[in-house]
Each structure stands twice: as C-alpha cells, then as structure tokens.
Structure 1
Amino acid sequence: MAMSSLLTLLTTVLFLLPATSSVAQEMQKITDLAGRQLKVPATIERVICSGPGCLRLLSYLQLTQMVVGVDEMEVREDSFDPRPYALAYPALSTLPVFGGLRGQDQPELILGLTPLPQIIFKAAASMGHDPIALQHKTGIPVIVLDDGDLDSHREQLYRSLRLMAQITGRQERGESVIEYIDHILKDLNTRTASIVPDQQHRAFVGGIAFKGSRGLLSTDPNYLPFALVNAQNIAASPSNRRLSQADMDREHLLIRNPDFLFFDLASSQQNQKNGFQQLRNNHLYHTLDAVETGQVYGLLPHNWYGKNYGSILSNAYFVGKTLYPEQFKDIDPRSKADEIFNFLLGTPLFNQLNQQGRDLALTTIPLD
C-alpha cells in the first residue's frame, strides 16, 4: 500500500512538472521605446504606471483594473484636477502610492505593493528614477514608453499604445483608439484644408499650463488645436518651432493683435494672477481687437500631468466652430467633447470639466 501510494505521488509530480515549467517559460519578447529588448510574462494582470501621461494611455486601453499602485499625483486632494482619466476612474486615487511625481519611483515602496506588479510602464523616462536601475533594484521588467503628441511625435504615441496593448493582450482596443484619433484628425483637416492663408483667422491662446498654472502670456507657439483647423497662431515663429510652452512679451501680443483670444482654463487657478484677472485689470489689453469685439473664449486645459488628448481634440472642434462656423455647422462642440471622452475613457466628462473651469469651457468669456 505504501509503495502504491508513493508511485501515485511520483506519477502526479512528474505529470505536473512539465505543466509548471511550461507556465514559467510563457514569456513574450518586446522592444520598448528606448530600444531595449525585454522578456515579459505572456499574461499580464498587474501593472503600475510611472511618469506623466503613462496612466492616461493605460486608461485609453480601459485597463485601470490592472493597476496595483499609483504615484503621488493620483492621490492629491486638489479642488482643481482637469485630468479626464482621473475623473473617469476615481478609484485610482484609493490605491497605494509607490513614488513621487514625474517618475520619482521608490523601489522599496514598489516591492511593498500587495500584490506585486508584473511590469512597470514608465513614460518620460528621462525624469526621475533611471529605468535600468529601477529594473535592477526591483527585479521587475521596466518598459519605457513615450506619450508623444498628436503632431510630429504622433508615431511615438501610437507605438506606445500598441506596445501597451500587445503586452496586455488588448491589441484590438489599441488599434481602435489609434483609428479613432486618426479619424478625428482627418475630419478636422478636411473641414478646413481649403481655407487659403489670407482667410485664416489670427488667434492667440493664453494661460497654457506648464508644471502648474500660468498667466495670460503663457502660450504654446505650436498650439495643436490651431494647427488642426488651419488657424494662424500669432505666437508662432521659426525660433520656437520645437517649443510647447513659452511666455510671450506683452508688447508683442499688443502689436500682433489677434482676431480671437482663447484662454486655457488651467489659468483660472492662479487667483489674482490668473489670465482672466490680468486681462480684466490691465487696460492695455482692452485695446486688443479680440477684446473689443468680444472674441474671447475658454478652452479645456491642454496639459495637466501630461497632455490631455481628449481635451485637445475637443478644443480643436470648438476653435474650428468659433473661427469657421460654416465649416463646422453640424458640430455642437460640447456634445462632440462628450463623444470623444466617451470613446477614450468610457464616460462623458464635459460637465465635470466645465464645473472645474468655472463654467467657462468652450464658450465666450465675459470680461465686464
């Protein structure tokens, strides 16, 4: 009887060993955005995202249920937080913290997470903890991403989405997101491509956030919502083609005198120094054509811990509708914003974002 039991046990062990070995060897080879070749588990269920923009991309893939920890940004109790993904997935703010802002990861906190992440996605790899050192200290694969932009670095954005989707088994969703963004970009251009340069309206956007709120003169010389609808950005020049934020001289703003003035509502958070107050209180600005004709408008925050892509696309439709109403006569910008957020994040978010922006998003701003 004892011998029979022993043989049964040995047979069971031998039967299980190949299966166990097979599972242990189920890995997939990937190449991250830094060009590093890595092996990661073929089946991923637990992740963390480090750095600005990283968790946003994972949210677009509808994979926040995989997240087992967050950085400090996600647990801040700020009254103003215009990140659509954070509004769509408030449960992220209840997760344990593994590090500080902008990639300041703490290996000991990562190793203290329960359960442990199987991989670490890391955007903005030049910030904070070095990816190779972080992988060495934690023993967890670190995949470098680049959240890119919707302009000259769109390929980096798409490569990051595809890599995330491949690793997590969400390739179909990843391609759907890319196709949707491409469709929006094509639609915007198609509506305005025939507008010749001398008919393109001259516009300025102020209050662009950069590591926090800024005032009226903080602008983006390459502001994408303007470019997407073929508007002339008065802040653009050959010397700042690579900049995403710059402070414009007040005198230059007055001299260039835009037809339309847009405010990024991130500027509304600077109290007495915000762009609205600067425009209201400085009578020099009252000489601007845009102010005299009431062509002053509010936009959803472009940046907040990375680029708010849903807000950027929503802003482009509003700018297009404002500058070229005939080309956008079938568009209600606020409804279009909800459509965009619903696709990217699974829920309409315009009303929540508008409330944070003092009900001034995608509408005229009264200055009296």
Structure 2
Amino acid sequence: MIRAKRQSSFLPKEVHPLKRTRSLSLAALVLLTLFAAGQALASDVVDALGSPLALDGPARKVLCSGSGALRLLTYLQAQDLIAAVEDIEKRSEARDARPYFLANPAFRDLPLFGEFRGRARAELILGLPEAPQVIFKTDPEAGTPAAELQEATGIPVIPLDYGNLLDRREALYASLRTMGRVVDRQERAEAVIAFFETTLDDLKRRSASLAEEDRPGCYVGGVGFRGAHGLSATELGYPPFVFTGARAVTEEEAPSDRASHAEISREKLLAWDPQYLFIDLSTLNAGERAGALYELKNTPLWKDLRALKEGHVYGLLPYNWYTQNFGSILADAYFVGKTLFPQGYGDVDPAAKADEIYLFLVGKALFSEMNDLFGGLAFRPLSLTQD
C-alpha cells in the first residue's frame, strides 16, 4: 500500500504589460528615456496587489520570504542584496543540507525579519536599518500572505512559484527570470536556466539507449519531508531516478513523473525486493535508534532483501531541505546513474561532479563539507552491521 502526499503549488496570475491610459508629455518621454533601462527590468513584473512594479533601476536591497526564495537569489549571485533573513538562516544545526547557506554562513549575521516558511513580520521589516525595495515571496499564501504583507509594509511583494525540475520547470524558470529582471541579473538567470537544461540533457543521454531489462529495480528510502523519516518514506517520481531513466520499483503500482512524498508498507517493499536500495541521509536526523539505517541494521524483517545481501545499499545527499535543493538533486542523479549504469558514466566522478554543480550554483565546492555533516556516508556503499 502506498499513501502519497503532494505539496500544494501556487500558480501565479497571468502577467500583463503595463497599459498606458493617456498620452505622454515631452517631459515624461525624457524621463522615460532616462529611466528606460531600470523600468525595463520590472515593467512586466506584478506585485501581490496586481500592480505593475515600477523601480527607478534595479532593486538595491531585497528580502526573500518563504521556502527556497533566498536559494534562488543566491543562484543569481545576488545574495549581497539581502537586507535581512528569516530565522532559519540563524540556526546552528549539527546537520544542514542547504548548499546555499553553507556557501554563505554570513547570512547568520544579518538582521531578522521573520520566521521561516514565509512568516514575515511587518514590524521587524519596518525597523530594518536598510529598507528593502522589494520582497520576493514563494508560496505567497503561506505564513503571512503576500497581499497582507505588502499592505502592512508598503513594500512591493513579488509572488513567486518555486517550481521544480520535473513537471513545473517552466514555473521555476519564470521565477528566476522575474528575480533577474528586478535585481538586474538577467544574464545570470539565463545562464542558470541553460545550466539546468544542459545538465538534464546530459543525464538523459547517458542511459537513453539502455533496454528495459538492463535497468535494475531500485528504491529510495528515508526521504525527508518536513522532517526526518524512516525506510518506508519514499518519493514517487524521485527526480534522480526520473532524470537517469532508473526503474523505480514503486512504479509497478504508482507510476509518476511528478515528485510526491509517500509512505509504503513493509509488505510492499519485501514483495518488490529491489536490487538497489538508496538511502536519503536526512534519515540520520530521526535519532540514534530510529531512521532507515537503524531499521536496516536492526530489523530482522529486512535481512533477506536482495539489495542488502548483495551489498547494494548506498547513501545519497538530502535534497528536500527547506524545499528542494536543485544542486543536490543533480548531484544525486549523477551518483545514481554511475551506480546503476556504469557503462554510461565512465567519465564521471560523482563527488567531483557534485562540486562542479555546487560551484556553479552557489559559488563553492561543497561535497566534502556536506558529506562530513552526514557521517561521510554519501555516494558510497553503506555498512549495515547490527548496532
């Protein structure tokens, strides 16, 4: 039995260009010419109240509210524009799988403007030492709703759809482009989009010619979703499987090309008996006597699983950490591809590829640092001797 959970998505209103209602005077035309570059950045961006955004040039200070908003700004190499941060950026955790934060630990020293998941506080924003010109907000109705936040602060709030790299890729790209126009990082936005497209094409190409019988059954367990989970927690439409053409055993019952968290029964996993088992290392946060690794080591029920007997159990970097970390998704995909289809990945060192991905997206090679946080268990076979 599979019980699936889907995250809600925000679908933005259609964006309309600014409509002109009266003739422009000569003076207005002169002013328009002077500010044309700045206005072009934002004239097709609509705020939370439905009004076209008007700035006299690129935004110089911004806030990012909601899951993943600051990550996208970091991808655009515009993190220096941040005026303040949510409380999640100020926490000290033993394990943190957010590459954008690991590459920018100075976020912790910035002023606070609210709580994570979009719970921005108007009184903190109005008291900031540097006033933001724009607030970017993902999942606009979560936490403090975008329109309510804009009315309380008088600062334009730009709703964004975080999207994903599967069925909502265009939403992600639209958000990157919107951010890019507002902060004058259009070229960088296009470079990030091209990077995603080139990388996904490369992953697809490497195993495209393999016959179905050459694709062993695999399963990913311990997948994080608003916290740590055990072996039964998986993801239908798991992106690293989709991108590499891997055959997920869950597809036998619930085919999916859209990621959604799911809980599966022990009986199903035993019946599927996957040849390869991947573990999302966020499961380590479940506690010393809990989580997927503890279960595999200490539950007799699992000892006859084919993957365990043949030593085909591997660790993956967590990627669903304050929503999806796209760099980690791609890094995990290269390791999955290398493990399942070595003939197509002979030139790939997954750890080096992860560093290449992180370096491009967040400006720092982070595989070793992240791997150390998770016990050095990523991208390697896991030892499952009993605790």
- With structure 1 as the length reference, what TM-score do the two structures score? 0.91
Q: Is the 8 A contact 1:40 1:119 kept in 2?
A: no
Gaps of 5+ in 1: 1-16
Judged with a 3 Å threshold, the aligned counterparts in structure 2 of structure 1 residues 66 and 198 are, in CA distance, closer, same or farther, namely same
User: Residues 93, 156 of structure 1: CA spacing in aligned structure 2 closer, same or farther, 3 A cutoff?
Assistant: same
What secondary structure, in the 3-state scheme, does the structure 1 residue paired with 2:44 have?
strand
Query: What SS does structure 2 have at the residue aligned with 1:39?
Result: coil
The structural deviation recorded for 1:348 is 0.2
Q: Give the drift of 1:235.
A: 2.0
Q: What runs of 5+ residues in structure 2 fail to find an aligned partner?
A: 1-30
- Provide the secondary structure at the position in 2 that maps to 1:40: coil
Aligned to 1:224: 239
Moved more, 194-203 or 205-214: 194-203
Question: Which one-letter code corresponds to 2:283 in the other structure?
Answer: S
Aligned to 1:191: 206
Show the counterpart of 1:8.
none
Of 25, 43, 49 in structure 2, the residue corresponding to residue 29 of structure 1 is: 43
SS of the aligned residue for 2:102 comes to helix
Larger Rg: 1
**2:326 aligned with 1:309, yes or no?**
yes
Please give the alpha-carbon distance, in whole angstroms, between the structure 1 residues aligned to 2:384 and 2:373.
Answer: 19
In structure 2, the partner of 1:261 is 277
Q: Does 1:61 align with 2:68?
A: no
CA-CA distance at 1:313 after TM superposition? 0.1
The residue type equivalent to 1:275 in the other structure is: A
Structure-2 residue corresponding to 1:39: 53
Q: Which residue of 1 aligns with 2:371?
A: 354
Greater shift in the superposed pair: 320-329 or 188-197:
188-197
Residue 344 and residue 239 in structure 1: after superposition, are their counterparts in 2 closer, same or farther (change >3 A)?
A: closer
Residues 364 and 48 (structure 1), Cα distance of their counterparts in 2 relative to 1, 3 Å cut: same
8 Å CA contact retained: 1:102, 1:127: yes
Higher relative contact order (CA 8 A, sep 6+): 2
- Any residues of structure 2 matched to 1:267-282 within 5 Å, and which? 267-271=283-287, 272-282=289-299
Contact in 2 for aligned 1:40/1:141 (Cα 8 Å):
no
CA-atom RMSD in angstroms? 2.4
| Structure with the larger helix share | 1
> For 2:383 and 2:41, how far apart are their aligned partners in 1?
58
- The letter of the residue matching 1:278 is E
Check whether the contact 2:167–2:258 (CA below 8 A) recurs between aligned residues. no
State the shift of 1:38 in Å.
2.3
- Give the counterpart letter for 1:250 in structure 2: R
Q: Classify 1:25/1:59 alpha carbon distance in 2 versus 1 (closer, same or farther; 3 Å).
A: closer
> What's the secondary structure of 1:68's corresponding residue?
coil
Please tell me the residue identity of whatever aligns with 1:78: E
Task: Please give the per-residue CA displacement for 1:264-321, whole angstroms capped at 9, x wherever unaligned.
Answer: 0101111211110011000111111100000000000020001011110000000000
Native 8 Å contact 2:42 2:181 kept in 1: no
Q: Which residue of 1 aligns with 2:124?
A: 109
Percent identical: 42
Amino acid at match of 2:368: N
Number of residue pairs matched by the alignment? 352
CA displacement at 1:77 relative to structure 2:
1.3
